[in-house]
Amino acid sequence: MAQKKTIRMMFLGDLVGEPGLALFEKWVPRLKEKHKIDAVVVNGENTGKNGKGITAEIVQRLKDAGCSVITSGNHIWANKKIYDFISQSDVLLRPANYPSVCPGKGFALVNLNDAYVGVICVQGRVFMHEDIECPFRTVDSLISMLKTKTNIIFVEFHAEATSEKHAMRHFLDGKVTGLFGTHTHVQTSDEMILPSGTAYMTDLGFAGAQHSALGIDQKIILNRFLSQMPAFFKVEKKGPMVLNGVWVEVDVETGNTLKIERINIVDNEIHNFF
Q: How many CB atoms lie within 10 A of CB 8?
A: 18
> In Å, how far from its chain's centre is CA 25?
16
Phi, psi at residue 5, to the nearest 5°? -85, 130
Please confirm, yes or no, whether 158 is among the known catalytic residues: no
The single residue of 35, 75, 166, 271 carrying the catalytic annotation is 75
Assess contact for 108 and 72: CB atoms under 8 A: no
The DSSP code sequence of 32-82 is HHHHT-SEEEEE-TB-SGGG-B--HHHHHHHHHTT-SEEE--TTTTSSTTH
Phi, psi at residue 246, to the nearest 5°? -145, 160
* CA–CA distance, 60 with 92 (Å, rounded to integer): 10
Cα→Cα distances 30→24, 36, 66, 265, 271, Å: 10, 10, 10, 12, 19
What positions carry a catalytic annotation? Answer: 75
